[in-house]
Amino acid sequence: MTGLVLGESARTADRIALAFREERQIQLLYFLTDMLMYWFALSLATLSRWDTLAQVDFLLLHRDRLICLVILAAAMIIAGCYRTSCITDRFDAVYYAVLATAIAGLFSFALTSILTAEYRAISRRELVVSAGLGIVLIAFWRYYAASIVARFQTMHRYFFILGSPGNAERIAKAIANNRSGGRIEAQFVTIETLKEKMRRRKEESGPNFIPEEDAIIALEERSHGQLDEIIEFCREHCRRTFLHPTLREVMLFQRHHLQAIAGIPLIEVASQQVASPYLYLKRLIDLAASAAGLLAALPICVITALAIKMTSPGPVLYVQERLGRGGRPFRIYKFRSMTAGPELRNEAGHVLATENDPRITSVGRFIRKHRIDEIPQLYNVLRGDMSLIGPRPAWREFYETNRAALPLIDQRLAVRPGLTCLSHVLGTYFSEAEDRLLYDLVYINTISLMTDLRILISTIRIVLSGKGAQ
């Protein structure tokens, strides 16, 4: 009997993994087709300058077209054009793609004001025509593609609706009657029923337990504590958790992204993982910036290494195991700013530095003040262990020690740890664990290009001034 249960749970895990791969393949197909459509639009737009076509440098023109494609790709990713709803829902599929294409066209047109005609082969007329053609082509193909993809079994969505019978059943009925955004199935359950269902499933699946459904919380009357408890349970046992907001909660969550599922306004409040399409662009930025940063900082690294070696005995680099995205351990590198082996002399084990800590050396105090000790972590960013922006990496014992007092602490592992973070900008090295967790959760729930840019600019200001980094 045990063998049958394990076999069934393994098949479920394989099915979910296969569905995940198929969804990624569909997203890639959408991306490549979007780029192909825009390239075709750019090629057709070249015919609009038939009177000067003989004078065009086509090698330079292809370079300009590639730049336009890169701009469009960035706009599409930032706009979230490859989310599930933008693949299966005809309105979302067209609306966000048209918006991104228009923005990309405007940005490309703005670049022509910077580059004179002698440095570019593409004309402003081509950019205007290609943007118009691109919008039409991409809108048509996406509309019909969404109609087809919505029928795929992979794109079917399953919801548990938690709430009182009246409100929850009304939402379940609306989802059952949905015809525009792919097949969506919903089941009304009470929180007690869901807990029992998940308990049995976990017993059957064991370590292979993988959440399959999303959850919609639609309680008509709920206290703050009750809502926190339900959200935390759903965070662990469901893929994504949505809140059907009351009028008061619409005001409280007004800066959250409002989503419509089967025409019902919902706010996402929890997820098994951060699924922002921006993460793909973020990784590309990390690769380029870390490689360039390591080369540019090489002279500073040499001077810092010599200063550390000449002023205190011990190694130049401080190496320690930390936990990365998903709890995966990795080795982090920093310039040593304390006397050698400080943790070995600390009976409490791993501890954070305190203000005016006697273990910090004179050179260490300077490099910590200006964040120079973090430069070797650019290598971790290049490897993919870390990101430029994200929660600071912590050791395993930090999570184990604080998990009871801070039950949300494992949410820090939803994204790659970062070289700098919100707590570095708004707090200090010596902020309390609860304060740092608050900063980290705020960042994870608002992750975007603009958020990262604000943190990066603030970090540069701190590095140059030394303020806020005792």
What's the pLDDT at 90?
81
Gap between the Cα atoms of 217 and 426, Å rounded = 33
Considering the entire predicted model, what is its pTM?
0.61
Q: pLDDT (tens digit, 9 = 90+) per residue, 203-240?
A: 776 666 667 778 888 876 665 667 777 887 887 788 78
Instruction: State the average pLDDT over residues 331-351.
Output: 66
Q: pLDDT (tens digit, 9 = 90+) per residue, 127-152?
A: 889 999 999 999 999 999 888 887 76
What's the pLDDT at 168?
75
Q: What is the 3-state secondary structure (H, E, C) of 159-207?
A: EEEEECHHHHHHHHHHHHCCCCCCCEEEEEECHHHHHHHHHHHHHHHHH
Start-to-end C-alpha separation, the chain: 61
Beta strands in 345-402 (DSSP E): 387-389
* Distances from the Cα of 235 to the Cα of 175, 197, 242, 436, angstroms: 22, 15, 10, 21
Rounding to the nearest 10 degrees, give the CA dihedral for residues 317, 321, 327, 328. 80
Q: pLDDT (tens digit, 9 = 90+) per residue, 296-328?
A: 999 999 999 999 888 888 888 988 899 998 888
Q: pLDDT (tens digit, 9 = 90+) per residue, 432-467?
A: 777 788 888 888 877 888 888 888 888 888 777 765
Gap between the Cα atoms of 80 and 214, Å rounded = 19
- For tokens 């569905």, the residue is 19
Total residue length of the chain: 470
Q: Token pair of 287, please?
A: 């690769």
Domain spanning 156-271: which CATH class is it, in words? alpha beta
What's the pLDDT at 187?
76
Residues of the chain with CATH 3.40.50.720: 156-271
pLDDT cut 90: percent of the chain above it: 20
Residue type, 216: I
Kindly write down the DSSP assignment for every residue of 211-231, as one continuous string: ---EEEEE-SS--HHHHHHHH
Gap between the Cα atoms of 264 and 244, Å rounded = 8
Please work out, in degrees rounded to the nearest 5, the angle formed at the alpha carbon of residue 26 by the alpha carbons of 415 and 184.
85
Cβ atoms of residues 88 and 182 within 8 Å: yes
pLDDT interval class at 402 (50, 70, 90) = confident
Gap between the Cα atoms of 323 and 203, Å rounded = 28
Instruction: State the average pLDDT over residues 270-281.
Output: 66
Helix (H) or strand (E) holding 255: none
Q: How many CB atoms lie within 10 A of CB 189?
A: 20
Q: pLDDT (tens digit, 9 = 90+) per residue, 93-114?
A: 898 899 999 999 999 888 877 7
What's the pLDDT at 100?
92
Q: Which residue has the higher pLDDT, 355 or 173?
A: 173
Cβ atoms of residues 133 and 210 within 8 Å: no
Name, in order, each residue with C-beta under 8 angstroms of 134's C-beta and a sequence gap of 6 or more. 37, 38, 41, 42, 72, 101, 105
pLDDT interval class at 6 (50, 70, 90) = very low
Gap between the Cα atoms of 382 and 286, Å rounded = 7
